[in-house]
Structure 1
């Protein structure tokens, strides 16, 4: 009996998972659509068919990443410290996504889905900070939100880049360090 069609399941998700894995292990600079197709076991045209180009693929990966991040931050809502730890653990568990999410030069930065996903995760982080002092001025909230984002993103980036390897500051698991770090911060 002749095969009349080809079915891979969720090809889009398969390609995105392969891209996230490759980026996490080899870095974003090694990623090519043809190599990714080979890695995912699909035709060389499949990634281009689904994403258009490399930037389209990375944009889709960033959209997925911002969605995953927002879900984690929203689940921790109401407690700034849990929101902060959720941000850091997201970066640790999804390094391939994290590596591309904030690299605007790699993405179709004007993509409306990307803008919406970025705003959703940003709002969840900002809301977490606002819980610290809900009656404060709008300017103080913005300042505290920027400080909080810098703190959690900075820690996640330091860990992701390996800067804390063999550091006397990194004497525990990243999650435990994150919890201790945010416990010491008072955004008043």
Structure 2
């Protein structure tokens, strides 16, 4: 058995402490929520001294901010991964992007709600604003590629993007809250979720195409 260096607890992640703390923060958030969230609990979960998170994130708000950035990056990765499996069709890529959105929400509900529960203000960190912008700009590019959609420089594109975003987000929240379910209140499986989401999206697309 190889013992850790003196003064360091087992679980200390040498050379990657920041990411280890973010992983511990996400796990703590999933288990306890924000109500009991603290730097000390995250440090204990990561197996490091209670001062380690402050060194990397400054304070609790800094850690929460960094977790929200991590959430935006994971959300974008889920969307892109689903799109990579879609047929070469703009509508299918949009549906796939939405399904990636749902997958992220289902797999990381606490982080999903942290991401969209963290107010975006003028003094929000550069990293947080950039993370949000990457996810939004990606969705905007997918929507702009739809036949008949407003172009990237058309102010009308924003309203179109917000419409699809709101639909995916609302669907995700209803799923997480148990308002979309199967027989006798049972949780719907992945296939049923995808079928229902596709139908909802296709109806919106049909309405958009006739406008």
Structure 1 pair 168–152 and aligned structure 2 pair: CA distance change class (3 A): farther
CA offset digits 1:52-102 (Å, max 9, x no partner) = 111100111111111122223234174110011011111112223212112
Q: 1:74 aligns with which of 62, 69, 80?
A: 80
Q: CA deviation at 1:151?
A: 1.0
Q: 1:146 aligns with which of 162, 166, 174?
A: 162
Q: CA deviation at 1:108?
A: 9.3
- Structure 2 distance, partners of 1:98, 1:107, is 18
1:36 maps to 42
Higher RCO (CA 8 Å, separation ≥ 6 residues)? 1
Residues 44-83 of structure 1 aligned to structure 2 (within 5 Å)? 44-75=50-81, 76=83, 78=90, 79-83=93-97
Structure 1 pair 55–108 and aligned structure 2 pair: CA distance change class (3 A): farther
1:172 maps to 188
1:19 maps to 25
Tell me whether 24-33 or 131-140 shows the greater mean CA deviation: 131-140
1:89 maps to 103
Which runs of no fewer than 5 residues in structure 1 stay unpaired?
none
Give TM-score, length-normalised by structure 2.
0.74
Larger Rg: 2
- Structure 2 distance, partners of 1:92, 1:11, is 27
The two structures, once aligned, show a CA RMSD in angstroms of 2.9
Q: Secondary structure at the match of 2:65?
A: helix
